[in-house]
Structure 1
Amino acid sequence: MAALVLVALVAAVAVAWVMLHNGLVTRRNAFRNAFGQIDVQLQRRYDLIPNLVEATRAYLAHERGTLEAVVAARNQAVVAARAAAAHPGDGASMERLAQAEGALAGPLSRLLAVAEAYPDLKASESVGRLVEELTSTENRVAFARQAYNDAVMDYNNARETFPGTVVAGGFPEARPLELSSPQAREPVRVAL
C-alpha cells in the first residue's frame, strides 16, 4: 500500500512538472509569435519609407540631408529588427531595436514636417497614399508592440512565480520592447 501511494505521489509530481514546463513553453512561444507580428509591421514600415523618400525627392532636393538621414536611420533599424527577430525577448536585441526605432523617429518626423510645407506634395496622390499607409502601419506597430509586451509579462510572471520558479531554469527572462527615447515614444506625425 505504501509503495502504491509513493508511486501515485511521484506520478503526480511528474505530471505537475510536465504541466509547468509545457506552460512555460507555450508562453515563450506566444511572446515569440507576438514579436513576429511586430516584425511584420516594422518590415511594412521599412518598405514604405524608401517609397516615401522617392516620392518626395524631386520636391525636396534641397533637403538632401533630411532624406539621407531618413534612409540611414531606416537601414540601421532594419538591421536591428533582423537581429531582434532572430532573438525575440533577448535584452540586448530589444535594446538595440528600441534605440534604432528612436533614431528613425526623429528624421522621419522631420521629413514629414518638411513635406507639409510644400503644397505640391500635399496635393500629390501618391504621397498622400504613402502617408496614409504609414499612419496605418504606425498604429499596427503600436498594437503589435503592446501585444508582445503583454505576452512577455505573462511569460515572465509564469517563470518568476511559484511553482514556475521550480521549472524555470532553462527559460531565460524575456525583455519587453520599451522605447528608450522621448522621440520614439511619440508616434511619427504623418499628416499632410
Structure 2
Amino acid sequence: MTPALSFPSFRPLALIATLFAALLLGGCGINNIPTYEQSAKAAWAEVQNQYKRRTDLIPNLVESVKGFAEQERKVLTDVTEARAKATSVQIPADILTNPEAMKQFQDAQNTLGGALRQLLAVVERYPDIKSGQNFLALQSQIEGTENRISIARRDYIQAVRQYNTEITTFPGRLWKSFMYPSAEPMATFDIPAEEQKAPKVDFGTSK
C-alpha cells in the first residue's frame, strides 16, 4: 500500500503573503501616524516659541508706558499679573494628549492676551506714549508676534486635526491597532473661528 504523501502546511506562507500584500496596498499610509505626530509636535513647539516671544516683550512694553496717570495703574497690574500666571503654568510632558493641561495653558495665555489688548487700548488715550521711540519699536515687534501666534495656533490645529483623523479613520486606525497602539488623540485649542484669523494690532499709526 502506497503511503500517503505528506505536504507541508501552506497556512503560514499564506498568512505571510497576505500581510505582504496588505503592506504593498497600504504602504503609502504605514508611516502616516508617526509623520503626522511629528508634524503636530513641531507645530506645538512653534506655538510655545511665539507665546514665549510675546511674554518676553511684555516687560519692555510695561516699562515704556509707565507714564500712565494713576487711574491707569490697574491696567499695568493686570498685564503684569497675567504674565506671571502664564509663565507659572507647569507644562507636563503629556500636554499634547492631556486636554485638561492644554486647557489650563490656553486659559492662561488667553488671559494674558486679553490684558495686553486692554493695555494697548488704553495707550490710545496717551499720544505722548504712542509717539515714543521705544514704544514705536515695540509696536512692530508686538504686532508681528501676535500675527505669528495666530499663524502658529492655526498650523497646530490643522496638524492635530490631520493626526487625529488618521488614527480614527480607515486605514489609519488599522495601522494604529497593529503598529502604533500607544498613539493617542492630541488635544487642540478651543479658539473661535474669528480668533483664528491673523489679528492686526493697530496703534493708531495706520491711515
Q: How does 1:2-151 map to 2 (within 5 A)?
A: 2=10, 4-13=13-22, 22-57=31-66, 59-60=67-68, 62=70, 63-80=72-89, 83=91, 87-151=95-159
Q: CA deviation at 1:78?
A: 2.4
Unaligned runs of 5+ in 1: none
Of residues 184, 187, 195, the one that matches 1:175 is 187
Greater mean alpha carbon deviation, residues 149-158 or residues 109-118: 109-118
Q: CA deviation at 1:5?
A: 3.6
Q: CA deviation at 1:106?
A: 2.4
Match of 2:3 in 1: none
Secondary structure of the 2:96 match is coil
- Structure (1 or 2) with the larger CA radius of gyration: 2
1:85-137 alpha-carbon deviations (Å, 9 max, x no partner): 76235312221122112211222122112211112101101101102110110
Match of 1:163 in 2: 171
Name the TM-score, length of structure 2 as normaliser: 0.78
Mapped contact 1:73–1:100 kept (Cα < 8 A): yes
Query: In the superposition, relative to structure 1, how do residues 85 and 6 fare at CA in structure 2: closer, same or farther (>3 Å)?
Result: closer
Query: In the superposition, relative to structure 1, how do residues 172 and 72 fare at CA in structure 2: closer, same or farther (>3 Å)?
Result: same
In structure 1, give the amino acid aligned to 2:151: F
1:27-46 alpha-carbon deviations (Å, 9 max, x no partner): 11110100111111111111
Q: For residues 91 and 77 of structure 2, what CA distance do their matches in structure 1 show?
A: 23
Q: For residues 153 and 97 of structure 2, what CA distance do their matches in structure 1 show?
A: 12
Aligned length, in residue pairs = 189
Query: In the superposition, relative to structure 1, how do residues 47 and 158 fare at CA in structure 2: closer, same or farther (>3 Å)?
Result: same
RMSD between aligned residues? 3.0
Larger relative CO (CA 8 A, sep 6+): 1 or 2?
1
- Percent identical among aligned pairs is 31
Unaligned runs of 5+ in 2: 1-8
Mapped contact 2:147–2:200 kept (Cα < 8 A): no
Q: For residues 158 and 21 of structure 1, what CA distance do their matches in structure 2 show?
A: 11
Q: CA deviation at 1:20?
A: 5.1
Greater mean alpha carbon deviation, residues 119-128 or residues 60-69: 60-69
Q: For residues 29 and 158 of structure 1, what CA distance do their matches in structure 2 show?
A: 13
Name the TM-score, length of structure 1 as normaliser: 0.83
